Chains A and B, each alone.
Chain A
Amino acid sequence: MKALVSVKRAVDYNVRIQVKPDGSGVVTDGVKHSMNPFDEIAMEEAVRLKEKGVISEIIAVTIGGQKNEETLRTALAFGATRAIHVKEDGEIQPLTAARALAAVFKKESADILLCGKQAIDDDANQTGQMTAALLDIAQATFASKVDIADGKATVIREVDAGLETLEIDLPAVITADLRLNEPRYLKLPDIMKAKRVQIEATNLGDLGVEAAPAIKVTKTAPPPARSKGVMVKTVDELAAMLKQKGLV
Chain B
Amino acid sequence: MERLRRNPELQAWLLLAIPAAFLLIFFMAPLVIVFVYSFLERGKYGGVEWVFTLENIRRVFDPLYFKTFVRSFYIAIVTTLITLILGYPLAYYIANSPPSRRNALVFALMIPFWTNFLIRTYAWLTLLRTHTGLINVTLLNWGLIQKPLPLFGNDFAIILGLVYGWLPVMVLPIYAALERLDRSLLEAARDLYASSFYAFRRVTWPLSIPGVVAGSMLVFIPSLGAFVTPAILGGGKSLMIGNIISNQFLGAHDWPFGSALSMVMMIAMLIATLIYFRWTTSSEIAT
Partners in one complex: no
